[in-house]
Chain A
């Protein structure tokens, strides 16, 4: 019995279910189908999907479901559910919409392609694509570079060299942030100048990163960093604050002084993903498949036995696919 439980917990997301929000609606990809639900979990439509969905990306009028293993993307019209399968380069791992245009990052082809249009060759092992101010940024792990791409021309306009082998990359509008599990660093660069910013100590093994609050006139951006080794989500302020203060915050947090970390949250297991939307931030442990809500200094269990990717944050809570049904938790 014990062994069966163990294997269940360790099961990879073979029959993958991927949940994502599309505006106020919720998209679910599984078993070769894509379904769109409204905010009350009522099904709007069901369309052809991909065999092994790995990611859903939503635009204003289209939804894209990636199949990294099969090198395909299913493009679905949000209003009608009409779907179309498109072949991609090798191993599409990430994608973004800019208006109606879908840009797919094919990692093992080292290429960013505009679906139905041109492509640009990137530095080897491109892993993440992000957008800010209608410009595309791609981080490639092997050379540790972020390349800025002008979508209209699909040309690389600027490049900044950081360090190789980051495990996540996010942008808060002015600053790019990358986390490095191997040397426990958060590294930054300025989008305006494409110059390197700070290298900041970041816990023990920082793996995932989310911008939980965007910079405004009164306050800096706020970041959440999942650290499975420390079993903690670090909360810190973005580049606008003094880098030394951030570093000091991490050090104090690590020492347990709590001087900078009252908002950091500890968990009973090692969380390795963190997702944020509006005022809600959740953390996820893919080993025990447990989803937590960040609440003060302790994580609160939201749901257990949730496969990786089978949850998303909505305007009013969490949507998750559990035991064959879509559940909304407010």
Chain B
């Protein structure tokens, strides 16, 4: 099993969509099954989810069970079903725990270390930094000479937003795998090394070292296209394989998943440094292997001319209707007045979500709410749909505390959402604005990642319930604070994604 990627992908998020599976099968389906597909297209990750459920049901060995649950968690996460995803990660952690105990009882220390490394990964996916770090260290204690263990360590640290630790671990993995490469290495050995180089590139990107990352990604993508992997490519084509997994089993699955992820990351880097032609070309290469990759489709929508854009958006939404990044991108597209005659179709889930966004853009909140309610009946655990539903509830009416003459307020989440809507729509009267300026608010907040330095804790953003906020710049608070704290603040305004705050005081 090769854990490929536990880092956030560029907008659109990983996984897969619809039916495409290499050029031949895509063509076949286009000719034979197009009408059927048009009526009821599947979300791209449907197939992988079904495969993983089947794997879990049929194969009871450790690797099958663990990779099945980890992959399911990742697949559900790309579909914004975070509660389901967490349940899958928790199951993976439990399986790793059983394996650790069983291995120790059997005095099989290598198996114990491998299971412990996977426990670290599962803990990291669950967001438990201390547990993940402790497990990763425990695994490395026994297997510091294992490239695989270091790669898992790196993946866990990337997930925990510890890029320097991830880079160091990934460098160890690459160094060990490079040394172990025999004079005539097998395809599997070369693939392993490419996976580790990809992990190193991913962690370098997270730490802002993009030059080395780009060089590595070019090495990986070139290698995958070279004659070294010709036999693997033939197998992929012959079997019409197309699935993309974050924990890939077998060389073909690893090859496909690596080609997909490395291509997307390289394309994203090129896009960031404004090499749009290069980026477009890499995204198109990704689509050659998987024509319904949502990340590549969303990117091509972004990079296309106005005429093509709507078509790519439609394909991206069909591939993954629930990507928040894609939704925000489409809202910007609508805001720029580029949507033209965007269709209000109900044909696919993706079309229905686009319809919601168009309705919201037009101020048709009631209609948008009704469309969302219908979608929520089909996808009740979907975070994206819930978020959009809440956003339709936000009116431009000002919250009551602006008329109460109170100067100290502990607002509810609903009031804050109301205020965000009013500020974003610029609906506050001068009197309400003056009242707002005089109010000091207090809320329990959850900060995003903070850093501690010289007895100070630095925070920049976070959320109050599910209302996001940020400060105008990173603020250093004296003392050591956890992510959860009590914040006293003033409200300066609203950003695209929430409130702009000025902190007054922070308490534990």
Contacts and interface: CB of A to CB of B under 8 A. Distances in A.
Given A87-B454, A90-B165, A90-B168, A141 B144 contact: yes
Contact of B107 (A7, A12, A15, A228): A228
Given A32-B480, A228-B104, A287-B100, A69 B133 contact: yes
B165 A91 contact: yes
Contact of A12 (B94, B134, B453, B455): B134
Nearest to A180: B145
Nearest to A287: B104
Contacts of B104: 228, 269-270, 287
Interface string B76-104: 00000000000000000010011011001
A129 to B, nearest CB: 16
A120 interface: no
Contacts of A9: 101
Interface in B94-152: 94, 97-98, 100-101, 104, 107-109, 112, 119, 123, 128-131, 133-135, 137-138, 141-145
A6 B109 contact: no
B172 A125 contact: yes
A248 interface: no
B493 to A, nearest CB: 33
A230 B104 CA distance: 11
B172 A15 contact: no
Contact of A14 (B94, B128, B162, B168): B128
Contacts of A70: 452
A125 B176 CA distance: 12
A90 B169 CA distance: 12
Give the contact-size bracket for chain B. 35 or more
B359 interface: no
B19 interface: no
A164 B453 contact: no
Interface in B455-502: 455, 480, 482
Given A230-B107, A269-B104, A14 B134 contact: yes
Contact of B109 (A3, A16, A72, A205): A205
A109 B100 CA distance: 30
Interface residues of A, number: 48
B171 interface: yes
Contacts of A286: 138
A182 interface: yes
Contacts of A85: 452, 454-455, 480
Interface in B412-465: 452-455
SS class, residues of chain A in contact with chain B: loop
Nearest to B451: A70
A14 B93 CA distance: 15
Given A124-B171, A229-B107, A14 B145 contact: no
Interface centre among A11, A110, A142 (most CB of B within 10 A): A142
Contacts of B395: none
Contacts of A231: 107
A16 B130 contact: yes
B135 A167 contact: no
A84 to B, nearest CB: 8
A181 interface: yes
Nearest to A69: B133
A230 B106 CA distance: 10
SS class, residues of chain B in contact with chain A: helix
A109 B107 CA distance: 34
A224 interface: no
Contacts of A69: 129-130, 133, 162
A68 B143 CA distance: 19
Contacts of B144: 125, 127, 141, 164-165, 167
B168 A181 contact: no
A14 B131 contact: yes
Interface string A274-292: 0000000000001100000
A228 B142 CA distance: 11
Given A12-B138, A167-B141, A207-B142, A142 B176 contact: yes
A262 to B, nearest CB: 23
B101 A6 contact: yes
B165 A12 contact: no
Interface string A1-36: 001001101111111100000000000000010000
Contacts of B168: 90-91, 107-110, 125
Nearest to A70: B452
B371 interface: no
A72 B480 CA distance: 12
Contact of A90 (B142, B164, B482): B164
Nearest to A166: B144
Interface in A289-310: none
A32 to B, nearest CB: 7
A215 interface: no
B129 A124 contact: no
B454 A287 contact: no
A270 B101 CA distance: 11
A77 interface: no
B477 to A, nearest CB: 14
A142 B173 CA distance: 10
Interface string A217-237: 000000000001111000000
B145 A229 contact: no
Contacts of B129: 69
Interface string B156-200: 000000101101110110011000000000000000000000000
Contacts of A230: 107
Interface centre among A182, A204, A207, A231 (most CB of B within 10 A): A182
A286 B113 CA distance: 13
A167 B142 contact: yes
Nearest to A7: B97
Contacts of A10: 97, 100-101, 119
A72 B452 contact: yes
Contacts of A182: 143, 145
A87 B453 contact: yes
B107 A142 contact: no
Nearest to B455: A85
B480 A51 contact: yes
B175 A142 contact: yes
Given A52-B133, A125-B172, 5 more contacts: A3-B94, A51-B482, A108-B164, A108-B168, A286-B138
13 contacts: A6-B98, A10-B101, A12-B134, A14-B130, A85-B452, A85-B455, A87-B453, A90-B165, A107-B168, A108-B169, A142-B175, A229-B108, A287-B112
Closest 3 CB pairs of A and B: A165-B145, A108-B168, A12-B134
